[in-house]
Amino acid sequence: MTVLDLSRWQFGITTVYHFIFIPLTIGLSLTVACLQTWWLIKKDPVYLRLTKFFGKIFLINFAVGVVTGIVQEFQFGMNWSAYSEFVGNVFGAPLAMEALLAFFMESTFIGLWIFGWNRLSPRLHLAMIWLAAIGTSMSAFFILAANSWMQHPVGYRVVPGTHRVELTSIFALLTNSTALAAWPHVFFASFMVTGAVLIAVSGWHLARKSQVDVFRRAMRIGLAVTLAAGIATAVTGDIQARLMDSQQPMKMAAAEALYNTSDAASFSLFTIGSLNGSTEVWSIRVPYLLSLIATLNPHGTVQGINNVERAYDAKYGAGSYEPIIPVTYWSFRLMVGFGSLAALLAAIGLWLTRRRRIPTSRWFYRIALWALPLPYLASTMGWIFTEMGRQPWTVFGLLTTAQSVSAGVTASSVIISLTTFTLLYAGLAAIAGWLIVRHVKDGAPEEPDGTGPGAGAEEPIPVFSY
């Protein structure tokens, strides 16, 4: 394998892994903030127990998200130095803003939230988790603005005579239509992940009739959040599809493996075909659906891969501008499929738990647990689709992935880092997963007086500490 291949695998592995933890960080921080707010308003100790219980899951998950994020900030320079030189003027700005505006906020206020129980006034302490949660969502916005610029470059100019781009409008970059659609999509998808965690954890306890009063509520919250977020994710994804059709027609065509331009394009749910996706043997198709997704019109024209390829050959010079079609085709379907299934199951769950009902069927709890991976897989597939669908470009229309890789880094160095990160990350996942499962099994302990241990003591005793 070349330095390019190795670097791509490393970026893929570290980024997909990083994003296993990010959706829960985004969704659970806000969920915990809501639970704690609700506790302060209602003074119902159940919400305090939920706050602390899910707060601990949040913190274990947050720790892994933070440390894997450090690698993200560094590896553009380490492995993609040619990319960094080319885009730094533009791409560096949202990254630096993310660090200054969002990272400081989340990490500082998380520390205050963890150690500030009983030390800060209840309201001020509540503000800490809200500020940390807002920080995580802001961080997501800046990183999506940076990524959206790679999908759909705006607010820049290519400097004549040099190999780099320059920022011309930070406002255009931050209000890129691609970013304004991607951020809510990722935000709501994060809540699908969060909802699934609430459902799985609560289901585990309810199946054992443990702490029913606490986890019945968490189950309802989880189901409602998953369904609502599922609908919102679908709506925002639909908006993204039309932007993609106009901004990245190759990606849209690759999502369906549509080789020839069509005026009433159908959407296949499943296809058996040749390995490169160019020949179809058998498929299940929904007529007009692709045209409808891409253009809002059942007879709208969707460009085919071959047609876009010819146009790109003329525009960018002869070459291959196709992504790996089976990867885009299947990642797109699996994203939609896993996400829809999660939302559908949540709708059924809401019905089964209506009016304080607690299902007795063992299947309910099995599915509650087994459905946990669905939103995780959906969001992973979403990222694989959007990043692989942009290939062969890193910055669409401006810089290819092959041109982006570091010049001075040897294959042996990348083999060492790829192996190190993969093993280290696997170890972290195993330990974090084990710790979370262990904590989940312990449940949410009762609060003796509803104000937490240490209340009334001479010196404030922290609720959480290391």
Please give the residues from 366 up to 405 whose contact with other proteins meets the rule CB under 8 A: none
Q: Counting contacts by CB under 8 A, is residue 4 touching other proteins?
A: no
> Rounded to the nearest whole angstrom, what is the least distance from the CB of residue 145 to other proteins in the complex?
13
Q: Is 2 buried (19+), middle (13-18) or exposed (0-12) by CB count in 10 A?
A: exposed
Rounded CA gap, 187 and 236, in Å? 10
Tell which one of 214, 225, 335, 399 touches other proteins (CB under 8 A): 214
Residues near other proteins (CB under 8 A), total: 95
Give 160's DSSP letter.
T
> Residue 348, interface with other proteins (CB under 8 A)?
no
**Is 454 a residue that touches other proteins (CB under 8 A)?**
yes
Of the candidate residues 185, 205, 220, 390, the single one contacting other proteins (CB under 8 A): 205
Asked if 115 interacts with other proteins (CB under 8 A), we say yes
Applying CB under 8 A, does 210 fall inside the site for other proteins? Answer: yes
Min dist CB 212 to other proteins, Å, is 5
Shortest Å, Cβ 303 to other proteins: 35
CA distance 162 to 3: 25
In angstroms, what is the minimal distance from the CB of 440 to other proteins? 9
- Quick one: 342 or 440, whose CB is closer to other proteins? 440
Nearer CB in complex with other proteins: 91/383: 91
Does residue 462 belong to the site contacting other proteins (CB under 8 A)? yes
Instruction: For residue 313, state whether it binds other proteins (rule: CB under 8 A).
Output: no
Nearer to other proteins, 206 or 384 (CB): 206
120 part of the interface to other proteins, by CB under 8 A: yes
Taking CA atoms, 74 is separated from 70, 84, 392, 402, 409, in Å, by 7, 11, 23, 19, 14
The phi, psi pair for 156, rounded to 5°, reads -140, 170
Binding residues for other proteins restricted to 13-42, rule: CB under 8 A: none
Contacting range for other proteins; rule: CB under 8 A; set: 277-285, 328-336, 381-389, 409-417: 409-417
Strands annotated E in 324-459: 393-395, 399-400
Whether the link from the prior residue into 392 is cis, omega within 30° of 0, is yes
- Residues numbered 45 to 104 that lie near other proteins (CB under 8 A) are 45-46, 56, 59-60, 63-64, 66-71, 73-74, 76-79, 81-82, 84-85, 87-93, 95-101, 103-104
**Binding to other proteins, residues 142-181 (CB under 8 A):** 159, 164, 166-168, 170
Least separation in angstroms between residue 400's CB and other proteins is 17
Location of structure tokens 């590896």 = 75
CA distance 48 to 118: 13
* Bridge partners (DSSP) listed for residue 272: 282
Phi and psi angles of residue 116, each rounded to the nearest 5 degrees, phi first = -95, -5
- Shortest CB 42 distance to other proteins, Å: 13
Q: Which residue has the tokens 């296809």?
A: 271
CB of 110 to other proteins, least distance (A): 6
Question: Residue 79: CB partners within 8 Å, gap ≥ 6?
Answer: 7, 10, 11, 405, 406, 409, 414, 417
**Judged by CB under 8 A, does residue 208 bind other proteins?**
yes
Read off the tokens for 208: 């054992």
- Per-state percent for the chain, helix, strand, coil, to nearest 5: 70, 5, 25
Q: Please give the angle made by the CA atoms of 83, 87 and 88, to the nearest 5 degrees.
A: 105
9 binding other proteins? (CB under 8 A) = no
**Residue 103 vs 376, nearer CB to other proteins:** 103
